[in-house]
Amino acid sequence: MTSLRVCLDVSDLDAGIQFYERALGLKLARRLGSAWAELSGTATPIDLLAKPAGSRAIPGAPATRDYVRHWTPVHLDFAVADIAQAVKRATNAGATLEAGISRHAWGAIAGLADPFGHGFCLIEFTRGGYDEMPGVERSP
């Protein structure tokens, strides 16, 4: 079986730890100096990697890191028990609410961004979750 780790670049490691602890209730599991921290509290560990703004994202490529709001085809969804409370907690910790809570047959969702420009969603599932969506087919 393949395991998964999520890695997020942040410009300030201490601020990143503080945000994710306050916003989502994650906990600092371990730290290696000032450049890396592992957060626990989700099924998949989340690693925060301190990388300065303006540094090269990929050696030899022109892309550099910036921490203004950016779009990427990958984002994180955090399943929560109470979406209204989770949105309040995240915004109080410094998240930006970009798409308010919308309700669906499968549950509710809100779109946010962390202080480092990474988008994420908070999701509160109904009892049936995604199986409540019309047209869902399960693999045999």
- Provide the CA 105 distance to its chain's centre, in angstroms: 23
> Does residue 27 lie within any of the structural domains?
yes
Return the SS3 of 31.
strand
Domain count, the chain: 1
- The DSSP secondary structure of 40-79, one letter per residue, reads ESSSS-EEEEE--TTSBSSTTSS-B---S----S--EEEE
Evaluate whether residue 21 is within a structural domain.
yes
Q: Which domain holds residue 121?
A: 6-52+67-132
CATH code of the domain in which 29 resides:
3.10.180.10
The shares of helix, strand and coil residues in the chain, as percent rounded to the nearest 5, are 20, 35, 45
| Residue 58 covered by a domain | no
Using one digit for the tens of pLDDT, what is the confidence trace for 3-61?
Answer: 999 999 999 999 999 999 999 999 999 999 999 999 999 999 999 999 999 999 888 88
Its pTM surpasses 0.75: yes
Termini Cα distance of the chain: 20
